[in-house]
Chains A and B, each alone.
Chain A
Amino acid sequence: MTSAARSRTGLKRWRKDYFGSPGAALMTLFSLAALGAILWVLVDWGLIRATFGAEGNQETCAAGGGACWSVIAVRWRVILFGIYPFEEQWRAALACGTVALVILLSCIPRLWSFGRLALIWTLGTALFYALMRGGVLGLAPVNEQQWGGLPLTLFVFVATGVIGMPLAIGLALLRRSDYPVIARVSGWIIDTIRSLPLLSILFTCAIVLPFMLPGFLIGEKLYRVVFGAALFFAAYQAEIIRGGFQGIPSGQEEAAKALGLSYWQRMGRIVLPQAFRLALPATINQFVIAFMETSLIVVVGFMELLAAGNTAFKTGDWKFAYAEVYVFIAAIYFTFVFGLSRYGAYLEARMNTGHAKD
């Protein structure tokens, strides 16, 4: 059906669906009124009676009676960058831009070749790290412990995906290995990691590992934590990919074998692409969860976005304005996650070309 035809019948459908009977009409009107009332309260609070600008304070905001966006105007740098050194925060902003650019670039189908993606990500990661960590090109070094806010959240999310995804593919392939020992051991690894809470994995990586590892392996806490998060991500993602494997008829692989394709050719050209297509909705879901879970690193001492937001309003002048800060942070999360899920929907539509059931 074309979209024009859809919109013509749309009006009729609407009438039938929402005003089909007196009861339905009443319900529809009531819901509309309720929605309108909620919207009005929000607009009234957030815009009409709100105080904007850096000059606002507790008194002027209380006089206005609405939201106090002044807290964002004054404390936005604390929210976005945490305790990253103030004079160097342009670097953190550039680093965020780099990550966003790399993500956007890798969403463009034309750049989807292993070489191009690898180049984009290597360059992007190197640039991000050089900007954030400093110590090169005359940039002052900034310890990882001082990273905070949005760049830290993005770094943990991206690194979790970049390390976790190959790990997941490896684990999933091992789990369907023809050698029972390998298959079983990787199955145990996956199930063990999945039966531990993420919090305890993070805590172990951050605090307990240094007691057990030899000195040269300890490294910076941030990387241990990212590794823990990636491991957790990989265990779940491996199972999602395995689900994708199971959706592929075994005849395909057998046919490929009969044609004399090697293992890597079979996996790289026949099995994995199809498995990924089947597993795409669950994969996007897993990425969204991974993004949300970045806020857990707060328990091992990192001031990610949400903790930086807490820091921003917890001070003598702004402690009354916590709702505004939370709304601001929610908007940031929403932007990223909504973008991610819309992109997932686009990918699904694109990959399903020629496979649509209807």
Chain B
Amino acid sequence: MNFKTTTAFGLGMLALSAVAVQADTGDTLKTVQARGTLNCPGDIGSYMGFAEVDDQGNWKGLDIELCRAMTTAIFGDPAKANIVPIDWAQRWPSLQSGDIDIVIKASGGTRSRDTELGLQFSMSYYLGTTKVMAHKELNLASLKDAEGGSICVPASTSTERQVASYLEAKGIKMEIVAIEKNEEVEAAYFSGRCDTYAQWGPVLAIAASQSEAPDSHVLLPDVLALEPEVMITRQGDDNWVDIANWTLTALIYAEQEGITSANVDEIKAAPPSAEIGKFLGATPGMGAGLGLGDDWAYNVIKQVGNYSEIFERSLGQGSPYKMPREMTALWKDGGVLFPLVVD
């Protein structure tokens, strides 16, 4: 997303690359349990729908909810999540220095992060695409039709690179208008400065839904880039990655089986299958291998909710953004989300 590379960041990373190897990961779960809180990144400001602050100064959003889910898996109490306000540029240094225990910050799994920064990923919890919005009156069927027009992009972000390489690959000639801040890019597009506006899908959808005339804009079918958003940990602590993956599986599995925060108690009392009984901790076996209690998944569903509940109140119908699930739906609804097998 918006990882603006500042001079300071470059300098910091330079110093970090030298010391990153030394950063001893140890047993993250033990560190977290001893501290009594799970430290996750928030935002320095807000990333709408993923990490934002409500009127009372509480964090909310999809990334925050995932952090709360993982906190609940460990402590049985979502309030033990400690959301640290950090900037995009700081996520990796902060993770390496131990300021935060995991990065859940709309960040994709990339080769360089995996192999050069020494990080490790969970399964994907959100499939992000870079898309293009256009003024409806231009009657564009795809980006190809916008040849010779202009496209607004947020400056010095991965989106800018994606747009440039997509246009080059497709041989489309457009004027790229790169503008620094998201609000300004949006203002430029909505005021008619650009014919089209390229942005990471959710930000684009939010921009459209919050604009003065949502119906006068269309999303073009072009997908400029695909980015699976993942939970990211330091390399070398396998159990910690397992906990991230199984937290995610618990959320998705519960949605698949129709277990919600409302009905989880009834289902635990009379589990329809042995598998679900074990999942909710009615029979033992769910937690031991992870170093957690057997009822951790029950706690997560009871106190945070399943994936659908989290999504709907962060980005979907329960939020101001009203975003559809699209590809981030369950496999049986035509999406790409699937749980691991709870056996």
Contacts and interface: CB of A to CB of B under 8 A. Distances in A.
- Chain B binds chain A: yes
Interface of A: 58, 62, 74-75, 77-78, 81-86, 89, 143, 145, 148, 197, 199-200, 202-204, 207-208, 210-212, 221, 298-303, 307, 310-312, 314-317, 319-320, 322
A77 B55 contact: yes
A319 B87 CA distance: 19
Interface stretch (B88-96, B224-232, B279-287): B88-96
Nearest to A203: B8
Nearest to B43: A311
Contact of B55 (A78, A82, A200, A208): A78
Interface stretch (B78-86, B301-309, B325-333): B78-86
B177 interface: no
A41 to B, nearest CB: 17
Interface string B74-112: 000000001111110110011001110000000000000
Contact of B42 (A83, A86, A300, A316): A83
A298 B42 CA distance: 13
A301 B89 CA distance: 10
Interface of B: 6-9, 11-12, 15-16, 19, 22-23, 42-49, 52-59, 82-87, 89-90, 93-94, 97-99, 183, 206, 210, 212, 319-321
B57 A316 contact: no
A326 B93 CA distance: 30
A210 B83 CA distance: 20
B94 A83 contact: no
A231 to B, nearest CB: 16
B320 A299 contact: no
A203 B97 contact: no
A31 to B, nearest CB: 29
Contacts of A197: 7-8
Given A85-B57, A311-B53, A315-B54, A301 B84 contact: yes
A299 B89 CA distance: 8
Interface centre among B19, B53, B58, B94 (most CB of A within 10 A): B53
Given A143-B82, A299-B6, A299-B8, A211 B46 contact: no
Given A86-B57, A89-B57, 14 more contacts: A75-B55, A78-B53, A78-B55, A78-B57, A83-B58, A83-B59, A83-B85, A200-B7, A207-B16, A207-B97, A208-B93, A312-B53, A314-B45, A315-B53
19 contacts: A84-B57, A85-B57, A86-B56, A145-B84, A199-B7, A200-B12, A203-B9, A207-B16, A211-B16, A211-B19, A298-B44, A301-B44, A303-B85, A307-B45, A314-B46, A316-B206, A316-B319, A319-B183, A319-B206
Given A199-B8, A207-B97, A317 B320 contact: yes
Contacts of A298: 44, 87
A311 B84 CA distance: 14
A90 to B, nearest CB: 13
A344 B98 CA distance: 44
A300 B90 CA distance: 7
Closest 6 pairs between A and B when the two form their complex, measured CB to CB? A316-B320, A314-B46, A310-B45, A199-B8, A301-B86, A203-B8
A75 B56 CA distance: 8
Contacts of A319: 48, 183, 206, 210
Contacts of B97: 207, 210-211
B321 A208 contact: no
Nearest to B99: A221
Nearest to A298: B44
Given A307-B45, A319-B183, A204 B15 contact: yes
Contacts of A84: 57
Interface centre among B58, B83, B86, B206 (most CB of A within 10 A): B86
B8 A77 contact: no
Nearest to B11: A200
A200 B52 CA distance: 27
B192 to A, nearest CB: 17
Contact of A211 (B22, B43, B55, B320): B22
Nearest to B97: A210
A74 B55 contact: yes
A199 B338 CA distance: 43
A301 B90 CA distance: 8
A322 B206 contact: no
B100 to A, nearest CB: 10
Interface centre among B84, B98, B321 (most CB of A within 10 A): B84
A212 B7 CA distance: 21
Contacts of A208: 12, 15-16, 19, 93
A328 to B, nearest CB: 16
Contacts of A207: 12, 16, 90, 93-94, 97
Contacts of B59: 83
B21 to A, nearest CB: 11
A74 B55 CA distance: 7
A175 to B, nearest CB: 27
Contacts of B16: 207-208, 211
A145 B320 CA distance: 28
B6 A316 contact: no
A70 B212 CA distance: 17
Contacts of A78: 53, 55, 57
Contacts of B48: 314-316, 319
B161 to A, nearest CB: 22
